[in-house]
Structure 1
Amino acid sequence: MTTLNEWFGKGIPAEEFISSMKVHKESLQSIQEHFSISVEDGDFFDELKAKELRAIVITEDWCGDAMMNIPILLNIAEAANIETRMILRDENLDLMDQYLTNGTARSIPIFIFIDKHGEERAVWGPRAPKVQDYVMELRSVLPAKEDERFEAEQKEVFKKITKAFSEDGSLWSEVYGSIKETLGKID
């Protein structure tokens, strides 16, 4: 079985992944540029630096959640000196299947934080809890899947979600807080 250190080694550097993106590239870059880490969190990030973490990100460029979550992670990674590598989900199901959401779903992105020895220290993803609530609320108005209106209405909901993920700073703050909370539990 492939170790997390080996997965990290196979990963694509974040800049390379972003430059190769075909979908959501501009939105991801815009979020990365417009989201900023709180100056008050300097001590938190100094403590994180001492833990010498690295991150493996299971992702795909078409994923709206990845579009929003990855640039926030990259800002955190820059502040905490966390080297980050991307693994494409669809080409690496053997890794993805170790990190299923609710034991069944190949939901992304998944952030796997490892130490310098390659030991898993924390896992985050695919969504911050309040972002999940927001998405579920929007989806709650959809008709049943068998309904002829389902597909068209689902497309509209996805458009709303993607727009919110691209522009809503309060959602970005939820992601930031959730990732920070996960990282704060690492001893």
Structure 2
Amino acid sequence: MNLNEWFHKGLTTDEYISSMTRNKEEMLSIFEGYRVSEEDQTKLEPLKVKGLRAIVITEDWCGDALLNNPILLRISEAANMEVRFVLRDQNLELMDQYLTNGTSRAIPIFIFIDQEGNEIGVWGPRAPEIQALVEKGRTELPDKEAPDFQEKQMALYKRLAKSYQTDTGVWQTVANSILATLLK
């Protein structure tokens, strides 16, 4: 698989944002609100000369993409890293190389590559701490056959989406996780 070809096939940040029909305002709100800390900028300094790039497998309807993509974009600015977006549902050939737990087409997935197109790291779809938060919320849901399951599940997702959009601690948790992959 030629990751350079996938990178060049991807949408630029402006093209991706312009094409968004869902979660655009919410994503841009996080993008406007999140700033890479001075400490994290210092950590990213050595990456600036490496010419790293990121392929983001995503879709605009995804709540995790709503949170993670704008944080990656801010990190990419600080690391001088070009980002391209590949839509999952139109590019299953790539997606299926990056399944979560070997079975799930969970997104977003960030594939970090060097100038030659060699994979240097993969991140996603969630920071481990956020995954634990989601799993904890799911354990508190009633049985799937319960009459109020759907309602409770939607309430959980609504709470998570609100925290994704407003909790700067969640933003930093995601940033720390992405940075851990980039700085290995």
Q: TM-score range by the shorter chain?
A: over 0.9
Residue equivalent to 2:130: 131
User: Which letter maps to 1:166?
Assistant: Q
* TM-aligned CA deviation for residue 122 of structure 1: 0.3
- SS of residue paired to 1:84: strand
State the shift of 1:15 in Å: 1.6
Equivalences for 1:111-150 in 2 at 5 Å?
111-150=110-149
Q: Structure 1: give runs of 5+ residues left out of the alignment.
A: none
CA distance in 2, matches of 1:72, 1:29: 10
Cα 1:83–1:153 shift into 2, 3 Å:
same
What is the RMSD computed on CA atoms of the aligned residues?
A: 0.9
Shifted more, 92-101 versus 43-52: the winner is: 43-52
Match of 2:68 in 1: 69
Aligned to 1:156: 155
Aligned-partner Cα distance in 2 for 1:49–1:24 = 30
Gaps of 5+ in 2: none
Counterpart position of 2:38:
39
Aligned partner of 2:10 in structure 1 is 11
What one-letter code is carried by the residue in structure 2 that aligns with 1:152?
E
Cα distance in 2 between the residues matched to 1:14 and 1:109: 14
In 2, the alpha carbon distance for the partners of 1:139 and 1:167 equals 21
- CA–CA distance in structure 2, aligned partners of residues 42 and 142 of structure 1: 40
1:176 and 2:143 are equivalent in the alignment: no
SS of the residue aligned with 2:181? helix
Aligned residues: 184
CA distance in 2 between partners of 1:66 and 1:157 (Å): 17
In the TM superposition, what is the alpha-carbon distance from 1:136 to its structure 2 partner? 1.2
Distance in 2, Cα, partners of 1:169 & 1:137: 20
Q: TM-score, normalised by structure 2?
A: 0.97
2:83 match: secondary structure: strand
Distance 1:95 1:148 in 2: 38
